[in-house]
Amino acid sequence: MPLDSLESAGVDTPSMAKHTIYDIARLAGVSGKTVSRVLNNEPSVSPATRDRVARIIDELGYQPHHGARSMRGQQRDCVGVIFSAPMNKWPVSHQQIHWLFLELERIFGARGKFICFDLNPYTNGIEGVDYARALWQQRCNGCLIHGALQLNDKVIARIHSSGYPYMALNRFEEIPDLCFSSVDYDEAAYLSAQRLIRSGHKRIGMLQAFHDTQAGKERRSGYTRALEEAGIEIDDSLIRPVSFAGSDVTAATLYLLLECKASAIIDCSMLEDPASVREGARRAGRIPGKDFELVDWTYSPDSISLPEACAHVRIPLREAASEGMELLAQWFDREREEPFQILRRPELFEADTVRELPIATPIFDTIR
């Protein structure tokens, strides 16, 4: 219902009728285009007109219809946040989701962006799960892809070639120029295996998270590389895929120690839970750090996951992600034109230097 006078709208109780720019225009005695100019902070509106229009907009609590805007304009005001798998497959931890929120608020919120989540990654397209519905529908004008990329992922290629700003938190072999910010898991696995080889181990087990993903593949390749360099034969059964269930890690630990006769284990399960590994060891009749050696991986900058480990590997994924999100925000706002690649180096440190927490350093980084 269009308004006939400003008074009928009321300053104290902004009318809930949905206004259009033409309602504003009529009240201000200008054309719709002028209202549009004010809304978009375009120049070439006289200060007096601008003020008058702005005042009416404020008083009515008018906000431009997003759908209509998105049909004409090319502004980018909404970031899609995508989980590449449903949470029951890859449970995102309390800390991680909280961290993500704070970062989104800090980086995109500060720029006035909206955040759109599609929590329904179950819609099957021809290629499997299409997790980027929000992007194709143009609800959002770019996206952040949170979570590992499965090796058979077909959606990421569409996103990559769509022209929308985006960032993944993984590399992806098939798309060398993918925009991502991540950590070199190959290197992390290489460092871990190398460390245990130096201790004289030949049967090194690995609790391998994300086995069907690029991140899992990198674990395998780094591990393999280290063993090959040392002339140790690869035994595939020593690379043990695990899910995020503690029981799975426990069972895999038991299996590696008993069936595979592993004398050392790389815990890159990312569960960051000492209890599961300990329980597996207990069932095998072994004591971690005594009967077998461990290298553990952690995302956390200020803690380790397994005190019994002889060395720890820190995976600075959140730091990489934060850095990348800043760049994504700039790309979004056309402050930079191109995609980027950030790969941070993992840091291995000995258990006896735990107090001196290392600063992670980038390996390569196409943006500097």
Partner DNA sequence: CTGTTAGCGCATTCAC
Partner DNA sequence: GTGAATGCGCTAACAG
Footprint on this chain of a second copy (rule: CB under 8 A) = 11, 13-14, 16, 18, 58-59, 61-71, 78, 86-87, 92-95, 97-98, 101-102, 104-105, 108-120, 123, 125-126, 130, 133-134, 136-139, 157-158, 161-163
| Distance of closest approach, residue 39 Cβ to a second copy, in angstroms | 11
Instruction: Say which entry of DNA, a second copy, none residue 43 contacts (CB below 5 to 8 A, set by partner kind).
Output: DNA
Compare residues 61 and 285 and give the one whose CB is closer to a second copy.
61
Instruction: Say which entry of DNA, a second copy, none residue 221 contacts (CB below 5 to 8 A, set by partner kind).
Output: none
Instruction: Say which entry of DNA, a second copy, none residue 120 contacts (CB below 5 to 8 A, set by partner kind).
Output: a second copy
| Distance of closest approach, residue 58 Cβ to DNA, in angstroms | 15
- Pairing outcome for strands 341-344 and 78-83: unpaired
| Distance of closest approach, residue 115 Cβ to a second copy, in angstroms | 4
CA–CA separation, 147 and 134 (whole Å): 17
Instruction: Say which entry of a second copy, DNA, none residue 37 contacts (CB below 5 to 8 A, set by partner kind).
Output: DNA
- Reduced to 3 states, what is the DSSP secondary structure of residue 274? helix
The answer to whether 346 and 361 are in contact (CB under 8 A) is: no
CA–CA separation, 36 and 28 (whole Å): 12
Listing DSSP states for 183-200 in one string gives E-HHHHHHHHHHHHHHTT
Instruction: Say which entry of a second copy, DNA, none residue 32 contacts (CB below 5 to 8 A, set by partner kind).
Output: DNA
Compare residues 125 and 289 and give the one whose CB is closer to DNA.
125
| Distance of closest approach, residue 25 Cβ to DNA, in angstroms | 7
CA–CA separation, 118 and 99 (whole Å): 19
Helix H or strand E encompassing 181: strand 180-183
The answer to whether 358 and 347 are in contact (CB under 8 A) is: yes
| Distance of closest approach, residue 56 Cβ to DNA, in angstroms | 13
CA–CA separation, 53 and 320 (whole Å): 44
Q: How many Å is the Cα radius of gyration of the chain?
A: 26
Q: Which residues bind DNA (CB under 7 A)?
A: 18-22, 29-34, 36-37, 39-40, 43-46, 48-50, 64-65, 68-69, 71-74
The answer to whether 189 and 223 are in contact (CB under 8 A) is: yes
| Distance of closest approach, residue 153 Cβ to DNA, in angstroms | 25
Instruction: Say which entry of DNA, a second copy, none residue 157 contacts (CB below 5 to 8 A, set by partner kind).
Output: a second copy
The helix-helix angle for 21-28 and 32-39 (nearest 10°) equals 110
